[in-house]
Amino acid sequence: MTSEAAFPANFLWGAATSAYQIEGQPLADGAGPSIWHRFAHTPGRVANGDTGDLACDHYRRFEEDVALMADLGLGAYRFSVAWGRVLPEGRGSVNAKGLDFYRRLVDALLERGIAPMITLYHWDLPAALHDRGGWLNPDSPAWFADYAQVLFRALDDRVPLWVTINEPWVVTVPGYLDGELAPGHRDPFEAPRVAHHLLLAHAEAVAAYRSLGGRHRIGLAVNLEPQHPASPTPENQAAARRRDAFINRWFLDPLYLGRYPAELATIFGAAWPEFADADLARIRSTSDSVLGGSLGTGCATDFIGVNYYSRGLVRADPNTQPLGAIRISPENAPRTTMGWEVYPPGLTETLLWIKEHYGNPPTYITENGAAFDDPPPADGLVPDPERVDYLRAHLRAAHAALEQGADLRGYFVWSLFDNFEWAQGYSQRFGLIRVDPPNQARILKASARFYQNVIRANGV
């Protein structure tokens, strides 16, 4: 296959999942429940009453699933560790059976030449820690660093890429401000403190990784979306700037610039606390250590994981507090079943924005993909042309950023499997591979074959 867009020789091609969304059996072998186990079992919180009790049954079927990853030719697989499998109480004694599952998964991947990228936290906080205040507790960064060290000690000899926290913004805003996701809080006084503790947790985990002599690379995965005013009025332009600070800069400015965006204090008003300068110093990564490519010292973050899905088209709206802005979808624009506009140029813009604002750090697209109403399988393959078109267009957009100097190192499709889509349960299909919880059959989609060819050609 000749490629219009050829990627660098060592470009990393992967797919991504997360523990609660695919593993099933969240309490097996001594595991402790997470806030998502509780949330999903709370009536009315998840569509159709769906839970992750079975999901894709990956906890049992992982060897079969790794064989499928090898069939696709994946160079890497991004997955998360369920904190409560390893530390059922969130801290204290290690559950050997839980840790052993992840050892066996990593070894199965390595046997097939697939590099593991482990996400330490993908939203499933042990319920026992939530009962101690969770991310609101100032001890939470230390809890997280202690948990991270258990994984570093057990697996750093075999795991080349670590992500500390997945989408701290989503942990904060849907989790503590609008209440859509676990733990379902709605408190503007809680959200900024949770965000701060998540950033400190990232910093403490990175510092622990360095102090243990971590030999590989560790980063943070953030959801980013360019914010465009719906029309060039001063009100909409100001609203887009506020939403840019609120979504895109809330976590990256402290990490790379050592300060929060000034807009956040205005947005949150009295709910925005005074944060200690020492905390911001701890959180800041020394960009020179990133640019130098050497493993950072202190809290230096080695790479940024970008989760990109769409852009925000923004209109000022004084009724939507605390932001005073809403995201709209343009008329007649192609959209996914999540209601998100298909907007590939936003990926190029996002990658170049990181290059321009944060010193061009090494970057991985740790999630990119789309949910569509896939038709049923035909002759053993699910025809999903919309997803093939989405992936092709976004890979070309990523390549355009590479050609303009972005230090893009790899791309992970979200997701390998149709899986538990949080509050939307199993109603949204993001997978390259179809999975229906009742029968658990794995059926490849045309997008899986498309991606297999992209990997073979190292281009699109």
Ligand X SMILES: N#[N+]C[C@@H]1[C@@H](O)[C@H](O)[C@@H](O)[C@@H]2O[C@H]12
| 3-class secondary structure, 45 | coil
> Looking at beta carbons only, is 280 or 432 nearer to ligand X?
432
Which of 246, 343, 372, 414 touches ligand X by CB under 6 A? Answer: 414
Sheet containing strand 325-328, edge to edge, reads 227-229, 312-316, 325-328
Q: Is 318 exposed, middle or buried (0-12, 13-18, 19+ CB in 10 A)?
A: exposed
Site string for ligand X, 282-321 (x = CB under 6 A): -------------------------x--------------
Between 18 and 140, name the residue whose CB sits nearer to ligand X: 18
Encode burial over 340-349: b for 16+ CB neighbours within 10 A, e otherwise: bbbbbebbbb
Minimal distance in Å, beta carbon 198 to ligand X? Answer: 14
Query: Is residue 451 part of an annotated ligand binding site?
Result: no
- How many Å apart are CA 205 and CA 208, to the nearest integer? 5
Q: Does 50 bind ligand X (CB under 6 A)?
A: no
DSSP code at position 34? B
Distance of CA 169 to the CA centre of its chain: 10
CA angle 180, 185, 187 (to 5 degrees): 115
Going by the DSSP 8-state scheme, the letter that residue 416 receives in this structure is S
Residue 21 assigned to a binding site: yes
Q: What are the respective helix, strand and coil percentages of the chain, to the nearest 5?
A: 45, 15, 40
Kindly state whether residue 367 participates in binding ligand X, applying the rule CB under 6 A: yes
Is 421 assigned to a binding site? Answer: yes
- Asked whether residue 83 is marked as a ligand-binding residue, the answer is no
Nearer to ligand X, 47 or 338 (CB): 338
Question: Is 419 annotated as contributing to ligand binding?
Answer: no
166 binds ligand X, rule: CB under 6 A:
yes
Interaction pattern, residues 220-249, with ligand X; x per rule: CB under 6 A = ------------------------------
Q: What is the DSSP string of 348-388?
A: HHHHHHHHHHHT---EEEEEE-----PPPPBTTBB--HHHH
Determine which residue in the list 57, 156, 167, 418 makes contact with ligand X, applying CB under 6 A.
167
Alpha-carbon gap, residue 112 to 126, rounded angstroms: 31
Q: Which of 355, 421, 431, 444 binds ligand X (CB under 6 A)?
A: 421
CB of 174 to ligand X, least distance (A): 10
By CB under 6 A, is residue 18 in contact with ligand X?
Answer: yes
- Which residue, 316 or 448, has its beta carbon nearer to ligand X? 448
Catalytic residue ranges: 167, 367
Q: Which of residues 331-350 bind ligand X (CB under 6 A)?
A: 338
292-315: buried (b, 16+ CB within 10 Å) or exposed (e) per residue? eeebbeebbbbbbbbbbbbbbbbb
Residues in binding site: 21, 122, 166, 309, 414, 421-422
Binding-site residues for substrate, in ranges, read: 21, 122, 166, 309, 414, 421-422
- The residue ranges that bind ligand X (CB under 6 A) are 18, 21, 166-167, 307, 338, 367, 414, 421, 430
